[in-house]
Chains A and B, each alone.
Chain A
Amino acid sequence: MANRPDVLQGTLDLLALKALSLGPMHGWGMAQRIEQMSRGTFAVNQGSLYPALQRMKRKGWISSNWGKTENNRRARYYSLTRSGNRQLMIEQQEWERTAQGVNWVLQWEGGIA
């Protein structure tokens, strides 16, 4: 397995929320989903997903339920709540602003007055 960088510090919430916006999923599935969605760019540090999920649950962004997988196995499924949806939008905008700013810095070619 290739060494891929871990998810950027601080973006895990955003990625997890985005992954859940596609539909309820269990922890392992979310890790897979994020990896797929990033087209293999980075891997989720799988263990650290769970504290993040617990935190988001406490904040009311996601809820959890025990359910069955396709193979009829018991798993805890997480789904996005309405306030989670709102949070996703906020974080997405924030991320875009940050990324834009970083890009501007990197693309700077003039001098400083």
Chain B
Amino acid sequence: MSVWSEIRERLRSLLFRRREERDLDEEIGFHIEMETERLVGQGVSQQEAERRARASFGGIERHKEGVRDERGTRWLEDFGADARYGLRTLRRSPAFTGAAIITLALGIGATTSIFGVVNALFLRYPEGIDRPSELVRLYIVRDEGMIQVPSGGPGSYVDYQAVRSSAPAFAGLAAFMSARDLDLGRGVDAQRIRGRAVSQTFAPILGVRMAEGRWFLPQEDSTVGAHAVAVISHGFWERVFGGDPAVVGRTLLVNGQLLTVVGVTERGFSGIESDPVDMWVPFSMAPPLGLTSQDSRDWRDNPAMAMVYVVGRIAGGVPWDVAAQQATAAIRIAAEETPELDQTPELLLGRLVPAGQPQRTQGERLSLWLLAATGLVLLIACANVATLMFSRGLARQRETAVRSSLGAGRVRLFRQHMTESMIVALLGGLGGILLALWGARVAAHFSLPATAARLDGSVLLFALGLTLTTGVLFGGLPAWQAVRVDPADGLKQAPAGAPRGRRRLRSALVGLQVALTAALLVGAVLFLRSLREVYAVDPGIDTERILVVSSDLAKVGFELSEREAFYDQAGRRLAQMPAVEHVSTSQFGPFSANRYGAGFLVPGHGRLSVNGPYMDWVGGGYFETVGTAILQGRGITERDVPGSEPVAVVNESLAAALRPFGEVVGMCVAIGEQQRSGGCTRIVGIAENQRSDYLDSNVDPAVYLAHAQDPEVLPWAGTDLLVRTTGDPVAHAAEVRSALQRLRSDLPYVSVQPLEERIRSDLRPYRVGSTLFTLFAVTALLLAGVGLYGMLSYFIAERRRELGIRRSLGADRGTIMRFVLGKGMRPVAAGLLAGLSAAYVGVTMLQGMLFGVAGRDAATFAFVAAFLLVVALTACFLPASRAAKADPMVALRAE
């Protein structure tokens, strides 16, 4: 009750301040009239009565102030007054205000937009999942097998069952396969959707609810192919079926199988990875849909088939390392039954956020670098604005002194200064958020990882926090310094300039700013150079003009010979098109997520012990088509056909591993089956390394075989057609697609995709980010330069009077110039030395985050020093030459 009256009264006071004031005047007037009347009634003269009435009331203004204080809105009114005063002051110096706001906006904007990316990667859980912080992904590190994933990857279904049955630290576990493209429908209307085979426990463990229908029943995940059911995502439901509830019970043709839709997941949920999924099917449907092989041993029983990913919910209160230990023990016991497998696999846990895996991908590291670089840029911005504020506070000491001698309290004055800083900070923050909105679009354009980096609540909160922090950072110290002045001292000072002590303080400030800027700039330049080094890595493949054409012919029942005939015909047809330069084929295609490794026997020396090597079966002209250079020997050609000698091309990494055994080109090695069946494959050439991972200096060994000589090797892997276009591949995609679809009417969906798109989105910035890099570098340099220039020229301009006196005492221009340069450059030199020394010591902490550049990189240090010296010299030279030229009398009279 009392709280309400309190709020009501305060609100009324705020909203109806004018009326309240009028009422108060009337009330006091009434009081004095009544008192006067009473006195007149006692026989006092009217005039005397009025005087006495006023006297007994006491100071009217004082009591009015008392009432105002009691309204409890004082601080707000003061704030309003401060804000109005601050705005007026700021408007009076538009250059200062503009510079400060732009500086902050750039800093806050850059930091916020990069934080948006980091937030999406490291902090945001997928939507539609119940208590996601309890969920973990399980990554299995196994030191053998065909596919090596050092940071942990999928395990076998056997591993999953082992953890499920003997790791009580998990309240529940679910398994899923990697998301795959599925063909929906057939013919012209065929679509490609993303689908995933999952265990029946998937939705229950994640706590996913259904918008329509139901999730799979346990019995639907038992007998292979017995229950042709699917659950679709809310997004897919709306996109394709317009949100029609009658979709439950409908059958859809997927990869040639009829599936019955049994449910739709709740809005928001689209899987647990950033790549949204349209459809889930039970594991039992994976073989019929071609998501796993049908002919080999059932993938559920084969401990060597590492194709399931596992997610688990940790039982309440159990520490992660306990869960990881239990799970590791479980998979090790399971491994004992298969002696040919690694006996000491390890299981790592990761959070469910997109960047939750135990080892950072390069895109994630990139975004952390960018955040670090922009953070440093923001600090430079803050330092600049702070020193500007500081100098301004010194210049305004007289004003402060006047105000405080007129009775303004220190707290009040401090608040006044802070309000001004906060206005600048808030305007800068606003500009920063606008910049970040634009920056989010830029980031999406440059395909920074997790393209869904949007400005959500937490990013805006971050920006607000950043704004307030910067306000306190650059405003607090100057405000404190400004109000510390003794009013008497402040008033006594000659208006022309600060006394010696203040001057020393100001020199120290210049030095401090130079030191800070130098140290921060070294950091920023090192980060930016790391980025440039990354961009400069030669990928060994020309991604810009290549289309990848794929169509899953095996899935819809094309026989091998039919498929080969189609690729042949398609290749010839495409080669005739004027927009096409080269056509070739590849089993996996560059940057494919699927890789295949096989044993490699060097006759007379034994098995080659390297990762992989990873194999690909390619068509004639493959290397010319994708733009990979042949360093020695020749590539695969049309003449490498069945019946001729089997040939192979190895990449540089594999060539390096083979070199100890003799001349690589011409060597005959046993690959895969040949190790048992005899025979060998002749190495005819060495190709440049193709890199998909730019931060990893080790490129895995790879071997390219002639597809025509071994067409049957991997029946389950669809062949890709690679098309090198004369111009922008996107412009020719439709043309290529329709040309192919005219070849046969019964084709399933034909995907035509620029190779750029196929590169995992978090790898893309390395190729297109140079613009972003330049933008940041220019921003950092601009901020540092502008800040230093402003500070120094202000510092010199303050000495105009002194220079005038010296001039009138007979100093010539040369003397004046030397004097000014000496005064200005001394603190700069000292600051530079201090800042670079601090950076020299500090960079060791950054070393682990850099790429291709040493922390104590001499060029970086020299560049920063030279840059700041040039800026400082310019900033001193211009005002100095003006001072030297000016008529001394003008300078003296100026005050």
Contact = CB atoms under 8 A, between A and B. Distances in A.
Interface in B135-156: none
Give chain B's interface secondary structure class: helix
Interface in A38-79: 43, 45-48, 50-52, 54-55, 57-60, 66, 73-76
Interface in B388-425: none
* Best-buried of A26, A60, A73, A83 by chain B (most CB within 10 Å): A60
Nearest to A46: B57
A73 B37 CA distance: 13
A60 B5 CA distance: 5
A45 B34 CA distance: 15
Contact of B27 (A50, A57, A59): A50
Given A28-B31, A46-B31, A51-B66, A58 B58 contact: no
A45 B58 contact: yes
Contacts of A52: 70
A95 B10 CA distance: 29
A27 B31 contact: yes
Contacts of B10: 58
B5 A28 contact: no
Contacts of B57: 46-47
Contacts of B26: 74, 76
A54 B5 contact: no
Contacts of B31: 26-28, 31, 46
Size range of the chain B interface in the assembly: 20 to 34
B56 A46 contact: yes
A55 B70 contact: yes
B6 interface: yes
Interface string B64-92: 10110111100000000000000000000
Contacts of A60: 1-2, 4-6
A73 B30 contact: yes
Contact of B58 (A48, A57, A66, A83): A48
Interface in B1-50: 1-2, 4-6, 9-10, 23-24, 26-28, 30-31, 34-35, 38
B5 A50 contact: no
Contacts of B58: 45-48
Contacts, number: 78
* Best-buried of A43, A47, A73, A74 by chain B (most CB within 10 Å): A47
A28 B30 contact: yes
B16 to A, nearest CB: 13
Contact of A51 (B1, B30, B59, B70): B70
Contact of A28 (B4, B35, B60): B35
A46 B34 CA distance: 12
A113 to B, nearest CB: 45
Contact of B72 (A48, A58, A75, A76): A58
B63 interface: yes
B62 interface: yes
A51 B63 contact: yes
Contact of B9 (A28, A57, A66): A57
* Best-buried of A29, A54, A55, A60 by chain B (most CB within 10 Å): A54
B70 A75 contact: no
A27 B27 CA distance: 8
Nearest to B60: A47
B462 to A, nearest CB: 38
A13 to B, nearest CB: 12
Contacts of A32: 38
B5 to A, nearest CB: 3
B6 to A, nearest CB: 6
Given A47-B60, A74-B26, 7 more contacts: A46-B57, A47-B62, A48-B66, A50-B64, A51-B63, A52-B70, A83-B2
26 contacts: A1-B52, A26-B31, A27-B30, A27-B31, A28-B31, A31-B31, A46-B31, A46-B35, A47-B60, A47-B66, A48-B63, A50-B27, A51-B63, A51-B66, A54-B70, A54-B71, A58-B5, A58-B9, A58-B71, A59-B6, A60-B1, A66-B23, A75-B27, A75-B30, A76-B23, A76-B30
Interface of B: 1-2, 4-6, 9-10, 23-24, 26-28, 30-31, 34-35, 38, 52, 56-60, 62-64, 66-67, 69-72
Interface of A: 1, 26-29, 31-32, 43, 45-48, 50-52, 54-55, 57-60, 66, 73-76, 83
